[in-house]
């Protein structure tokens, strides 16, 4: 038999999303939460999704695990993760896929973890669901994971319930659970939002260290552009269910070309407040996702908008290799790119 060509398997992205659309149909009007998102994440790469609440970041992330109520949502497009056609998986295959191929760190571990089982029991159960190991072996794996995420007194903490741990320790336990079955892709849904600033930095550094050590592909959701810069190789900025700008962290910080990206950067506290100035804000409100405008969804809040912006949906403009923006005014934003 001729040898099988596996070149495409080595070079294929770990995650490839094409024209993803998610509409929630459970309310009085359909809500278009995700509107044509396309994104690729390479193997061993960290991509951050950033934007305001309601921009579609978490909805996109949860679609990768098929966590939406399928009776109350319509999902179209293509989602390929490590060779798996996620939207086509049957229930048994989906159960095998979750945790083993792709796992998630949730925003609030106290709600995500089961309150009636110890942390050790929950991690051991996950390991035994996907691998043929004994209870003793699963316990030892759980202990090693607690040591890896630097939980003090790990043997004793394995016997603790979620409510008995501090917020930072719970989040570390959540990371250990997400890594328990050695996934290829890790999804992190605002994993530091509920933590104080010092603990946030510790968790971010831990995630980045583990990602490099294990060669994980990571999609990191946050509304904090500063956190995104700390951990991400590339950043995708979302607004009203669409990716409006995408590029490396360096490109977006040094040359933001979408007015929304610029507004996010200008609204960071450390710049204006350190100089004794006023904190910049983004005027207006995000659009109604049940009644999206025909043109750019940011037009009513954009100081650079023209009449065409309100009637024409902008296509992606490639600004440089790996850097694109969906904006009709990229000519004007180029002159402002270095002024933040």
Judged by DSSP in three states, 24 sits in strand
d(CA 177, CA 119): 9
Rounded CA separation 53/34 (Å): 13
Q: Could you give the CA distance from residue 2 to residue 23 in angstroms, rounded to a whole number?
A: 46
- In order along its 340 residues, the chain shows pLDDT tens digits of 344 444 444 578 999 999 999 999 988 899 999 999 999 999 999 999 999 999 999 999 999 999 999 999 999 999 999 999 999 999 999 999 999 999 999 988 888 999 999 999 999 999 999 999 999 999 999 999 999 999 999 999 999 999 999 999 999 999 999 999 999 999 999 988 778 888 888 889 999 999 999 999 999 999 888 889 888 999 999 999 999 999 999 999 999 999 999 999 888 755 545 556 677 788 889 999 999 999 999 999 999 999 999 999 999 999 999 999 999 988 776 656 544 4
DSSP state of 281: -
Rounded Cα distance, 338 and 8, in Å: 39
3-state secondary structure of 280: coil
**Secondary structure class of 172 (helix, strand, coil):** helix
SS3 state of residue 78: strand
- 8 A C-beta contact, residue 224 and residue 191: no
CATH for 7-101+183-336 (3.10.450.30, 3.40.50.460, 3.40.50.300, 3.40.50.170): 3.40.50.300
Q: In what order do the strands lie in the sheet with 73-81?
A: 31-41, 15-24, 73-81, 84-85
C-beta of residue 181 within 8 angstroms of C-beta of residue 130: yes
- Which residues, including other chains, have CB under 8 Å from residue 306's CB and lie 6 or more apart? 328, 329
């Amino acid at each position: 038999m001729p040898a099988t060509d596996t070149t495409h398997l080595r070079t294929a992205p770990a995650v490839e999303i094409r024209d993803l659309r998610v509409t929630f149909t459970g309310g009085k009007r359909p809500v278009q939460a995700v509107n044509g998102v396309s994104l690729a994440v390479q193997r061993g790469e960290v991509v951050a999704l950033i934007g305001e609440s309601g921009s579609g970041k978490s909805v996109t992330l949860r679609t990768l695990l098929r966590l939406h109520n399928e009776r109350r949502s319509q999902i179209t497009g293509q989602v390929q993760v490590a060779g798996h056609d996620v939207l086509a998986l049957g229930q048994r295959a989906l159960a095998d896929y979750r945790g083993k191929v792709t796992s998630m760190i949730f925003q609030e571990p106290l709600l995500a973890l089961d309150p009636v089982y110890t942390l050790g029991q929950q991690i051991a159960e996950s390991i035994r669901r996907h691998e043929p190991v004994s209870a003793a072996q699963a316990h030892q794996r759980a202990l090693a994971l607690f040591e890896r995420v630097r939980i003090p007194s790990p043997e004793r903490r394995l016997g603790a319930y979620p409510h008995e741990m501090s917020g930072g320790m719970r989040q570390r336990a959540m990371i250990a659970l997400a890594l328990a079955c050695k996934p290829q892709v890790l999804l992190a849904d605002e994993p530091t939002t509920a933590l104080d600033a010092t603990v946030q930095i510790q968790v971010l550094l831990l995630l980045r260290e583990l990602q490099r050590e294990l060669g994980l592909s990571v999609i990191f959701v946050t509304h904090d552009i500063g956190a995104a810069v700390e951990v991400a190789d590339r950043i995708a900025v979302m607004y009203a269910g669409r990716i409006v700008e995408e590029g490396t962290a360096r490109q977006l910080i040094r040359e933001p070309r979408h007015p929304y990206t610029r507004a996010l950067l200008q609204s960071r506290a450390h710049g204006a407040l350190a100089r004794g100035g006023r904190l910049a804000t983004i005027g207006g409100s995000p659009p109604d996702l049940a009644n999206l405008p025909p043109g750019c969804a940011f037009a009513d809040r954009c100081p650079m908008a023209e009449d065409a912006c309100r009637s024409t949906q902008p296509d992606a403009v490639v600004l440089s290799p790996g850097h694109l923006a969906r904006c009709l005014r990229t000519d004007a934003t180029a002159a402002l790119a270095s002024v933040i």
